[in-house]
Structure 1
């Protein structure tokens, strides 16, 4: 009885496969989920990514200038020769990420430092330090 049930299931599967193969409208099984990969255009430039992105002031040469946040999926902004004051908190960045007239109220001039922010994270960098874990390099043209 068990073999009979197995044989019936096997027959059903074979019939399903045959019905798909007999239908000229359907694509062969090997091509149903095939998505061609885009070929790189010779005009496109390849991008090289930093393995461990660094942030810092402009005097350092190893800082990454093209960061993206994995949490809020936004480009990280860099404010050169400025730093965030103590009143800048998460809600300020969350609500006013694109409003520089309001964000400028929370920046102070400092020639030794750069201020960084996305919509969910901020950082002051006096020297070359590792970028927050949620910030990754978006790539640099070779």
Structure 2
């Protein structure tokens, strides 16, 4: 008896949903007076096709890189280079801790040191970025 009541209620609900779904929607959109909303706060970004890294004297270096492997922003340490002890585990564990990372950087005015959480690179001249580092875009 209780089961019949439930079945009747369920059938009624399904019929009501179907009746709403079967009705044609009369939503017409007029594009004659349509003007796209312009948001002045929204700025266009241009991305580097083949991003490069290097030292400060290079003018073709990309300053807004993102790593596709670890999905983090690439950091640039100007006039510094990584020492031989900087490895994957150091970068992985201390990516956001500059006091510890500073122990693995050496002052050198000819280099820029780059890192994400999975890779570190020393750049003395303009070189291509690792394949999984991409430009995040630059405001025009």
TM value normalised by structure 1: 0.74
CA distance 1:24–1:71, shift in 2 (3 Å): same
Partner Cα separation in structure 1 for residue 112 and residue 124 of structure 2 = 7
Partner Cα separation in structure 1 for residue 71 and residue 56 of structure 2 = 25
Which 4+ runs in 1 deviate beyond 6 A? none
Gaps of 5+ in 2: 1-14, 25-36
CA distance 1:141–1:23, shift in 2 (3 Å): same
Partner Cα separation in structure 2 for residue 26 and residue 81 of structure 1 = 69
1:1-142 pair list within 5 angstroms: 22-24=18-20, 41-142=39-140
Deviation at 1:24, TM superposition (A): 1.1
Deviation at 1:42, TM superposition (A): 3.1
TM value normalised by structure 2: 0.75
May I ask how many residue pairs the two structures share in their alignment? 117
Provide Cα deviations, 1:70-99, integer angstroms capped at 9, x if missing partner.
011000000000000000000000000000
Gaps of 5+ in 1: 1-18, 29-38
Provide the aligned C-alpha RMSD in A. Answer: 2.7
CA distance 1:42–1:112, shift in 2 (3 Å): same
